[in-house]
Amino acid sequence: MKLPSFYLRSSMLVASLVIQLLITAVVSGGGGTTSSSTVAALKRYNAMFTFGDSMEETGNICAASSNKTELDVLTCTHPPYGETYFGRPSCRWCDGRVVIDFIAQALGLPFVPPSKAKGKDFRRGASMAITGGTAMNFSFYRSLGIEDPVWNHGSLDTQIQWFKELMPSICGTEQSCKAYLRKSLFMFGGYGGNDYNVQLLELDLTPLQAMNYTPKIVTAIANGVEKLIALGAVHVVVPGIFPTGCLPIFLSLFGVAAGETDFDGTGCLKSYNRLTEYHNSLLRKQVAALQQKHRNSTRIMYADYYGLVYQMVQEPEKFGFSKPFEACCGAGGGKYNFDVTARCGMEGATTACHDPSTRLSWDGIHPTEEASKVIAGALLRGPYCTPPILG
């Protein structure tokens, strides 16, 4: 199969490159100059392939599910989701673009289509991410007594299988795929958030109890990276997870009964953040080991979501945000504006805050488009991605 060329020296491509350089400067918050590393990165990637959960969702849950009741429960199909950028719900858990959308734009790539969509051209990218995605296979959680199908939409291993099934249409033979994927960017997660949601919200485990499963979860993520490398991936971003104890959903569910000493000086729940820190510390070590093992053949990048988002919570004004603990969309009221029975998109909760661009949290779980833009910029140029995507 002949590979498509994306580097024809036509005037149209030159114009497109200039536009994308400007986009990169805007996303990263940089000045008017463009570094040689930026130009190199734009030439480097011919496609982007993404994996993960609702943080990276671009439509798989809508393309894969024919259950209208389920889609009604998964309110990303309802207004006001999508209002900021798309003007309608786009099956993203956001008011507009998510992190991977900004990264795609900065690299001169189209928005990555959901891999379950019909009739799409996936040669420039595809998203395997799906709402409810977990690092561990569902059989593991079924063994713990979990039956809720929301956690069985597509685990890490399942998403890798979806990608393998797409490969012939993307790049042809195994040999040609090795060459093609070498010039593609892989965003692998962050996985783990839903694994802890299952344990904390479904099994009612304490954060300390959930730590018992962290080594298994992190090992599954590391094994997943190895599987991608075996398929031909060279440039792989492996994100950690957000500070759970700072999310409005956890603050509303567990903060009411918490004592003063259960909160840190910022207002986050300490025990839930300790769980996240433990996960991310083990993941950093695994990524460092993978970087060393594959140092001559791959470029594996660790994305520190925790460090960046926690700084945004600590110093929201520095990033142009206010009320970092209050969901922009929802009808929960109170300090966090989150209620499981009055979530964003549900009846009575279809109007967002006046200006979502000033908020960190969109629906109490997922970041706003503006927060996603900040996160994408930090991954593209650093310092919260090691090494940066554009490094």
What is the model's pLDDT at position 22?
A: 36
Instruction: With beta carbons less than 8 A apart as the criterion, state whether 190 and 240 touch.
Output: yes
In a domain, 11, yes or no: no
Distances (CA, A) of 21 to 25, 42, 200: 6, 8, 43
In a domain, 116, yes or no: yes
In a domain, 4, yes or no: no
In a domain, 262, yes or no: yes
What is the model's pLDDT at position 28?
A: 42
What is the model's pLDDT at position 68?
A: 67
Backbone angles phi, psi at 105, to 5 degrees: -60, -40
**Catalytic residues, which ones?**
54, 363, 366
Q: In this structure, what DSSP letter does residue 256 have?
A: T
In a domain, 20, yes or no: no
What is the model's pLDDT at position 78?
A: 94
Total count of domains within the chain: 1
In a domain, 290, yes or no: yes
Q: What is the CA radius of gyration of the chain?
A: 20
Pairing of strands 299-303, 385-386: antiparallel
Q: CA–CA separation, 182 vs 281, rounded Å?
A: 28
Q: How far apart are the first and last CA of the chain?
A: 32
Quote the tokens at residue 291: 């970087």
Domain boundaries, position 279: 47-386
75: domain CATH number is: 3.40.50.1110
What is the model's pLDDT at position 2?
A: 32
| Centroid of chain to Cα 117 | 19
In a domain, 39, yes or no: no
Quote the tokens at residue 224: 């997943």
Q: CA–CA separation, 210 vs 25, rounded Å?
A: 41
Quote the tokens at residue 309: 């988002």
Instruction: With beta carbons less than 8 A apart as the criterion, state whether 193 and 151 touch.
Output: no
pTM of the model: 0.89
Q: What is the mean pLDDT of each run of 10 residues along the chain (391 residues)?
A: 33 35 41 46 82 97 76 86 97 98 97 95 97 96 92 95 97 93 96 97 97 98 98 98 98 95 98 98 98 97 98 98 97 95 95 97 98 98 95 83
In a domain, 9, yes or no: no
